[in-house]
Amino acid sequence: MQYIWLVLCSLIWRLVRAGKDWTNSGYPDIRGPTFGQCNVNISTTQILYLCDPDQILSSGDRIRLNIMMEKLAVDTPCPCQRRSQCSSGSNRITSFHGFIVSIALVNNLQMNFHSPSEQQLTDRAGSFCKTLEGRWALGDCGNSVLIFVWQHYKKLIIWPARLAERYVTLEERKRIISNVNDLIQTDRWAEALETVVADIETELKGEPEDRVDTGTLSLIIAVGVASLLTILITCCVCAFRCCGNLTPEDDTKSLSHNDSSFASSLNQKPFVRNNFVRRSESRSPKFPLRSATLSLEPQPINFYVEPSDTTMV
């Protein structure tokens, strides 16, 4: 009788969900009071990592995938700075965990487009994953990865958080999805998800990708540019002070001083030494001027001889 009641409830739930699409806020919360809608039968000591309200997977597949993700959380090291951020609670089988991988499956999401483009589908899936990551509170330091399945459009999205993105890069996510693309197109979701979880576990156990801190790099560049500008401005100020610090009044005083000095030099007395005047009174040149051209005619010779004085005294 109890089994018949469970089957009847499942059929009623499917009929209710048949004509309704999921919204970001209406999707069940694996950490909240609506976790029962995720259709995963686990014990009270286990942690729920999968939610399948539309029952896309079978009951056995859901339990098997949940066990895989719980094992992944235990086997991966804690990447957080404080170990307390990786605590799972005292009433759990394992007290600490590393990376958290969760799966959310939907048949369809509520959209305002009748024939959405590929970019619109990607944006809608990204919005849903971002909201779900915040609602589920998967990791305390960005150590979570969300796998989203959109059955209606046959899409699988791998959504890593900030820290997990260093381990599962964009190129690696594309490679993982391309490896299971054939399984996705044929609706073999259980096999595809098992392969994706195994590949993600391998990447999370590896070394993180070295990434340049853009914030620190921007700060260094800004400080360098500011220092260069400061040096340039200081040099310009010093140059103006050294070369162009005379005011118009100083220029006028300098010119008047030069004029007075020149006038006094003109009116000064002649140089006198030992009471002898050294000024020349002659207006004729000191040396006779020679003709610029030489005469070619011979000069006449004067043969006149003054007679000698023969007077005797």
Torsion of CA 175, 179, 185, 186, to 10 degrees: -160
Q: Do residues 88 and 47 make contact, with C-beta atoms less than 8 angstroms apart?
A: yes
Is 14 in a helix, a strand, or coil?
helix
Residue 228's alpha-carbon distances to 223, 242, 257, in angstroms, are 9, 21, 43
Of 195, 170, 171, 169, the closest CA to residue 181 belongs to 195
Is 108 in a helix, a strand, or coil?
coil
Q: How far apart are the first and last CA of the chain?
A: 193
Q: What tens-digit pLDDT sequence spans the chain (313 residues)? A: 555 654 455 555 454 444 468 999 899 998 888 888 998 888 877 889 999 999 999 999 999 999 999 999 888 888 888 877 777 654 454 566 789 999 999 999 998 877 889 999 999 999 999 999 888 878 778 889 999 999 999 999 999 998 899 999 999 999 999 999 999 999 999 999 999 999 999 999 887 765 555 667 777 888 888 888 889 888 888 877 777 655 555 555 555 555 565 555 555 555 444 444 445 455 555 545 554 454 555 555 554 555 555 544 4
Token pair for residue 208? 């993180």
Partners of 105 in beta bridges: 149
Burial pattern 295-304, b for ≥16 Cβ within 10 A else e, equals eeeeeeeeee
Q: Do residues 79 and 141 make contact, with C-beta atoms less than 8 angstroms apart?
A: yes
Largest CA distance in the chain: 193
Which pTM was predicted? 0.62
Q: Do residues 36 and 43 make contact, with C-beta atoms less than 8 angstroms apart?
A: no
CATH 3.40.1010.10 assigned to domain 28-205? The reply is no
Torsion of CA 6, 12, 14, 17, to 10 degrees: -130
Q: Do residues 144 and 98 make contact, with C-beta atoms less than 8 angstroms apart?
A: no
